Chains A and B, each alone.
Chain A
Amino acid sequence: MKKITPEKFPAFVSALLGKGPLWAPVADGETVNFTLISDPVQVTLDFYNTTLSPKGVFFPQSEEIIRYTLGKERIESEAVPTDVKPQVVLGVRPCDVRSFEVMDAIFESGGITDPYWKKRRENTAIIGFAFDTVDPADFYNAFGIHAADERGSDLFLVKQGPDFLIKAITKKGEELLSALGLDDASADDEKYYNEKIARGPELKTRTINLEGAPDKLTRAFDSPYWQKAAMACISCGTCTFVCPTCHCFDINDETLFRKGARRRLWDACMFTNFTLEASGHNPRTKVSQRLRQRVSHKFSYYVKNFEVTSCVGCGRCTRSCPVNIDILSVAEGAIKEGEKQ
């Protein structure tokens, strides 16, 4: 275990930068988001959680897959190589670390592996960061995640007053830690760290009983509850974009005169035209249908397919929603409706 004092923090970040690309939380006014940094002064670990999730590290919002040139008779095209150098993402909260596991399920399923996701996942070291406080919107306890959950991180950070304690959790983490030139932690520091981890579950979030949820939600499909739940929803798609486990994407060819690129871009099932078909038919024209789809996908269909809920209770959707829709309340309400059936 190592210790990083505030004076030694810039050197810690510089050492990480020396190993390869580094993603870290950067503040811009009141918004904090994971960004590729070049200077230790950009980094802040003084935040509750970022606005956008860190899924962009593995699944960028816009990713070029093919580049092409439209010739007179042929189209010249080449696949864009996924050039990933070993990289580090620093300051990921336990719920977000778990989200990567949840996404692994779909990016490698049915015998098909998403090469872009996989390459990035293999080449990234994750430095997790324990929570010290709880936001009322969070409910990650419902998924067996606690505030100081080390699971999934390669290295894990715990705050002790102004200092940080950092411990290697995996072999990848050990290799990285030994190369950073940090000061050793004392025996007392280790005791503090271990206690923090052990007492993580005591920092309680809201929670929900998800037992039998997949079937209950299916039974609630035709309930008029969804109209009430979706009344305020404006179908903006913000919840989907900030969510660490939402993964729908669209493929678009973006051409300028004769040159262009085929890109994979984030899409959102909450968008009105998400299910618009080439025929002009749209099976989900009503916002209640789309909200039902999103909640059912996360809490029912994904569970049936991959045995894990596509949600980690990070609270981002609730915090960013322009009309304050709380996904926990919606899921609870729908489950109750399903119990009535």
Chain B
Amino acid sequence: MGFEPKIQGIACNWCTYTGADLAGTTRLKYPQNLRLVRVMCSSRINPSFIFRAFQLGADGVMVGGCHPGDCHYGTGNMYARRRLAITKKILDFAGMEPERFRVEWISASEGKRFAEVVEELTNTIKELGPQTKFKIEK
């Protein structure tokens, strides 16, 4: 049967999204389960996006941004780091498996790393199975 997870990805335009492009242009193979959304900076990410993604049925969420210190806007990812850390702690305390939500700093030149991270995350979530705790059933 093979469960194919739906993984929501949110990536910053300048680093991670470009890194994902690089993975593509260098013909790297990685699982198709990631649905990537582009934001200009990881600090645009409202933690409610993460909760909402799980509510709408995502089995996993991945956030990608520039390495702290290299943010295109200077300090955006520094704020994002704090916000996403708290989000992770909240999900963990509520009883959601923390492996389902992953934050990675991936630069524009790290196409290979992007592919690796997506592969890792997809395999982890395949093992965890479908996410049912937050998912809204209609």
Number of interface residues of A (CB under 8 A): 6
A255 to B: closest C-beta gap in Å: 8
Residues of B within 8 A of A257 (CB): 56, 138
Residues of B within 8 A of A255 (CB): 138
B136 part of interface (Cβ distance < 8 Å): yes
A259 part of interface (Cβ distance < 8 Å): yes
A112 part of interface (Cβ distance < 8 Å): no
Determine the distance from Cα of A279 to Cα of B11 in the docked complex, in whole angstroms. Answer: 37
A63 to B: closest C-beta gap in Å: 16
A278 part of interface (Cβ distance < 8 Å): no
Interface residues of B toward A: which range? under 10
Residues of A within 8 A of B136 (CB): 256
Determine the distance from Cα of A257 to Cα of B138 in the docked complex, in whole angstroms. Answer: 9
Determine the distance from Cα of A256 to Cα of B136 in the docked complex, in whole angstroms. Answer: 8
A260 part of interface (Cβ distance < 8 Å): yes
Residues of A within 8 A of B56 (CB): 256-257
Q: What is the 8 Å Cβ interface bit string for chain B, positions 35-61, against chain A (1 contact, 0 not)?
A: 000000000000000000000100000
A260 to B: closest C-beta gap in Å: 6
Main secondary structure of the interface of A (DSSP, over half): strand
Determine the distance from Cα of A261 to Cα of B137 in the docked complex, in whole angstroms. Answer: 12
Q: Which residue of B has the minimal Cβ distance to A259?
A: B138
Determine the distance from Cα of A260 to Cα of B137 in the docked complex, in whole angstroms. Answer: 10
A228 to B: closest C-beta gap in Å: 39
A77 to B: closest C-beta gap in Å: 14
Q: Which residue of A has the minimal Cβ distance to B56?
A: A256
A253 to B: closest C-beta gap in Å: 12
In chain B, positions 56-112 with a C-beta closer than 8 Å to chain A are 56
Determine the distance from Cα of A50 to Cα of B138 in the docked complex, in whole angstroms. Answer: 31
B115 to A: closest C-beta gap in Å: 29
Q: Which residue of B has the minimal Cβ distance to A261?
A: B138
Q: Which residue of B has the minimal Cβ distance to A67?
A: B138
**Interface hub of A255, A257, A260 (most chain B Cβ within 10 A):** A257
A67 to B: closest C-beta gap in Å: 9
Q: What is the 8 Å Cβ interface bit string for chain A, positions 252-278, against chain B (1 contact, 0 not)?
A: 000111011100000000000000000
Determine the distance from Cα of A257 to Cα of B56 in the docked complex, in whole angstroms. Answer: 9
Residues of B within 8 A of A259 (CB): 138
A82 to B: closest C-beta gap in Å: 20
Q: What is the 8 Å Cβ interface bit string for chain B, positions 114-138, against chain A (1 contact, 0 not)?
A: 0000000000000000000000101
Q: Which residue of B has the minimal Cβ distance to A256?
A: B138
A332 to B: closest C-beta gap in Å: 45
**Interface hub of A255, A256, A260, A261 (most chain B Cβ within 10 A):** A256
Q: Which residue of B has the minimal Cβ distance to A260?
A: B138
A311 to B: closest C-beta gap in Å: 37
Q: Which residue of A has the minimal Cβ distance to B55?
A: A256
Determine the distance from Cα of A294 to Cα of B138 in the docked complex, in whole angstroms. Answer: 35
A116 to B: closest C-beta gap in Å: 21
Determine the distance from Cα of A259 to Cα of B136 in the docked complex, in whole angstroms. Answer: 12
B137 to A: closest C-beta gap in Å: 8
Determine the distance from Cα of A260 to Cα of B138 in the docked complex, in whole angstroms. Answer: 7
Q: Which residue of B has the minimal Cβ distance to A258?
A: B138
A258 to B: closest C-beta gap in Å: 9
Q: Which residue of B has the minimal Cβ distance to A254?
A: B138
Q: Which residue of A has the minimal Cβ distance to B135?
A: A256
Residues of B within 8 A of A260 (CB): 138
Determine the distance from Cα of A261 to Cα of B56 in the docked complex, in whole angstroms. Answer: 16
Determine the distance from Cα of A261 to Cα of B138 in the docked complex, in whole angstroms. Answer: 8
Determine the distance from Cα of A256 to Cα of B56 in the docked complex, in whole angstroms. Answer: 8
A157 to B: closest C-beta gap in Å: 39
Determine the distance from Cα of A8 to Cα of B56 in the docked complex, in whole angstroms. Answer: 49
Residues of B within 8 A of A256 (CB): 56, 136, 138
B32 to A: closest C-beta gap in Å: 20
Query: Apart from A256-B138, A260-B138, what are 6 other A-B pairs with CB-CB below 8 Å?
Result: A255-B138, A256-B136, A257-B56, A257-B138, A259-B138, A261-B138
Could you name 9 residue pairs across A and B whose Cβ atoms are closer than 8 Å? A255-B138, A256-B56, A256-B136, A256-B138, A257-B56, A257-B138, A259-B138, A260-B138, A261-B138
Q: Which residues of A contact B (CB under 8 A)?
A: 255-257, 259-261
Closest 4 pairs between A and B when the two form their complex, measured CB to CB? A256-B138, A259-B138, A256-B136, A260-B138
